[in-house]
Structure 1
Amino acid sequence: MPRAVGRSRTEQQPAAGPAQTSPDLRLSGSVGDGPERAEADEQPPLLLVEDDAGDALLVEELLADSGLEMRLQWVSSLEQALEWLADRQPGCILLDLHLPDAHGLQSLSDLRQHGEHIAIVVLTGLAEESVGLSAVAAGAQDYLVKGKVEPDLFGRAVRYAMQRKQAEQDAAALQAGRIHARENARLERGLLPVPLLRGAGDVDVVARYRPGRAQTLLGGDFYDVVQLADGSVHAMIGDVSGHGPDEAALGVGLRIAWRTLVLNGTFGPRQLRKLQELLIAERSSGQIYATMTSLVLSPDRRGATVMRAGHPGMLVRSPAGVELLVPPGGPALGMLPGVDDFPAHRMDLVPEAEIVLFTDGLYEGRIGSRERLGEDGLLVLARQSADLAPAAFVDSLLSRAEAMSENYGGLADDVALVHLQWSRDVSIP
């Protein structure tokens, strides 16, 4: 079992320093504080893996004189070190490469596998300095030569080893973040496309996307806008349940499939049935589903056809004000695989009407300990911003919803918004 060796200088009793205690008592584990005391210390202990009691005493004295505010924990074999590391983590490990159950750099390799985030300083003999260099090349942060170490050098080596290990971890995290960012950019290009508009500026589109606060990858929110040669404008917005690369990839697949179906002339309920078939075939789990709204603006600007699959409603702005419309719809895609009833709802629009599609992350954020913004709260925000231009209106909705939930963790989910408006500069047919 692991043994505690002495105390740091700040913990020593005035009448009994390390030199006044028998090495035999240290080997029996009766010296210093037990492991349970080490766990309570704010500063992680210094773990010494050394089978020689005399060398252990030397390290204890160096620690006491070094000024390090660390407590020494001593084990005499690699097996004991691995047992100790199973449920505790030291600030640094001092490792002798000659142990009863391990020899050479293999012990370093084993410790690194079990404590990859822990700094390791290797202890070598006078004639083994080249071994210390090999240990650093193999992953140790530093090495010390027994018999040539002063307290100041000892303290500096331990401090630098811990700082160097932290710097290595920070660099690795930075690189991982850069890779993550590149992956996010690839997903974003798939999820957030450039609208395909064929008309000469006769429709204006404002789109926004905001990743949820808890996600490091983009979630499954997606949208698209396509205008066909006949002047009709097809738009969609959707949300795959869950978060992560699988869900984001599924969202990309659904968006591309939707655009392909539109360009091939597949409209109406058959369109959503095809998308549901794709989702069921491609999803990684039977629990994954997607909500979606598919919208067609008539080229005469007087109406729209809407299909909803478990998705929230939409905001409609007009000179009369802002309304929240929830047209009839069917279940979310993949929620009920045997059900494929997605009614197409026709609605009339005044020529100046503007439509805002959004995902539920916009209104699901908490604005109180037990209260969410909700669709009613979102409508209030929309009416307060009704006089703003399209881009400012969308940005106001997003920023105000985020601000209201800031004290309760911020937006809880990804948010996508699409604002559609016929250009006021083009005459009505």
Structure 2
Amino acid sequence: MSDSPYVLLVEDNPGDARLVRTMFDDAPPGTLPELRWDQTVRAAGLRLGREPGCTAVLLDLGLPDCDGLEALALLRDQTEQVPIIVLSGNDDEEVGLSAVVNGAQDYLVKGSFDAGLLRRALQYAAHRKRVEQKLIQRAMHDHLTGLPTRALLLDRLRMALNATDRSGSRGALLFIDLDHFKQVNDVHGHAAGDAVLLAAAQRMLAGVRASDTVSRVGGDEFIVLLPVVGPDDAAQAVAQKLLQALSMPVAVPGGEVGISASIGVVEFAAGEASAEQLIARADEAMYTAKREGRATVRQA
């Protein structure tokens, strides 16, 4: 199947579908992509999975296999990058507002729009979706290091817990705090502090797999998620590797500074604890490392 751009219409009423298709057929060449049509949420989901290139979804809320906002929720979760415009037969602003609040980028009332209005709605919805994605990207990634924030880490940790439930594997969290970081800022200035944070982030990224997550969760606090760890002491081995990498001096404006880190490790399997509880346990293990002399690793 071609991955050429298309708009997906999810509408169970053939008459309404014909009206929308006529608008697409009558549009000036090049102004609208191809229109593809499904009559159920299930069929739409299957198409989206096998046919890349969807640029927008036109979604009727009264479908035979999934009614109302449930249909919106299902397709929204499957089309995170694709704008959704709800088509409603009910000229009720509350319906449209509910749709937008629940993830749609716009709504149109059936029988009240023409081809021109449809084109504009598709353009505006695409723009709103791009803005939304940029805002999400900014909220989920640290502005200095570009690393995932705590919110994105929690989402990935919950996914890792679900994966361990299915596979019976184990994962691990490493809670990492830079030692005496406040002194770097106080003595060398904030530019030096930023250089240290950037260097620490880059060293941690270089020391883990692409499938692992390095996140910045506080000023000088980082958490590394290892979704899957191998034999005994695998998480400890990664922690020791990162500890060594973080012990190297960092070049800063005017010279270089020495740094070190304290690391708390907690391993996990399905059902042992929630994501928040695991982070708290790794945090406590890190503070144990600090109390016992810093620049070391302790496991919960």
CA separation in 1, counterparts of 2:216 and 2:136? 26
CA separation in 1, counterparts of 2:180 and 2:34? 53
Q: Which amino acid aligns with 1:133?
A: L
Equivalent of 1:121 in 71, 85, 98: 85
Cα deviation code 1:217-271 (max 9, x no counterpart):
45349xxxxxxxxxxxxxxxxxx9438648999x989xxxxxxxxxxxxxxxxxx
TM-score by length of 2: 0.55
Note if 1:284 corresponds to 2:245.
no
Equivalent of 1:76 in 39, 42, 56: 39
Q: Which amino acid aligns with 1:80?
A: A
Equivalent of 2:208 in 224, 242, 246: 242
Q: CA deviation at 1:93?
A: 0.2
In the other structure, the counterpart of 1:58 is: 19
**Shift in alpha-carbon separation, 1:183–1:145, aligned structure 2, 3 A:** closer
Q: CA deviation at 1:288?
A: 4.5
CA separation in 2, counterparts of 1:247 and 1:282? 24
**Shift in alpha-carbon separation, 1:174–1:89, aligned structure 2, 3 A:** same
Unaligned runs of 5+ in 1: 1-35, 196-205, 222-239, 254-280, 293-308, 312-332, 334-356, 363-389, 395-415, 419-429
In the other structure, the counterpart of 1:48 is: 9
- Any conservation in 1 of the 2:148–2:215 contact (CA below 8 Å)? no
Equivalent of 1:219 in 184, 189, 203: 203
CA separation in 1, counterparts of 2:215 and 2:132? 30
Query: Match of 1:95, SS?
Result: strand
CA separation in 1, counterparts of 2:148 and 2:15? 54
Q: CA deviation at 1:171?
A: 1.0
Unaligned runs of 5+ in 2: 150-174, 185-191, 223-231, 259-300
- Any conservation in 2 of the 1:63–1:154 contact (CA below 8 Å)? no
| Residue-pair matches, total | 208
Query: Match of 1:153, SS?
Result: helix
Query: Match of 2:36, SS?
Result: strand
* Structure holding more helix per residue: 2
Q: How do residues 97-246 of structure 1 correspond to structure 2 at under 5 angstroms?
A: 97-125=61-89, 127-128=91-92, 130-178=94-142, 190=179, 192=181, 194=183, 209=196, 211=198, 217-220=201-204, 241-242=207-208, 245=214
Instruction: Give percent identity, aligned residues only.
Output: 28
Cα deviation code 1:131-172 (max 9, x no counterpart):
233212222111111111111111000110111011111111
**Shift in alpha-carbon separation, 1:391–1:175, aligned structure 2, 3 A:** closer
Q: CA deviation at 1:82?
A: 0.9
Q: Which has the higher contact order (CA 8 A, sep 6+)?
A: 2
**Shift in alpha-carbon separation, 1:117–1:282, aligned structure 2, 3 A:** same
Q: Which amino acid aligns with 1:171?
A: L
Structure of larger gyration radius: 1
- Any conservation in 2 of the 1:191–1:248 contact (CA below 8 Å)? no
Cα deviation code 1:297-325 (max 9, x no counterpart):
xxxxxxxxxxxx8x9xxxxxxxxxxxxxx
Q: How do residues 267-306 of structure 1 correspond to structure 2 at under 5 angstroms?
A: 284-290=235-241
CA separation in 2, counterparts of 1:65 and 1:89? 22
RMSD: 4.5
Cα deviation code 1:296-353 (max 9, x no counterpart):
xxxxxxxxxxxxx8x9xxxxxxxxxxxxxxxxxxxxx9xxxxxxxxxxxxxxxxxxxx
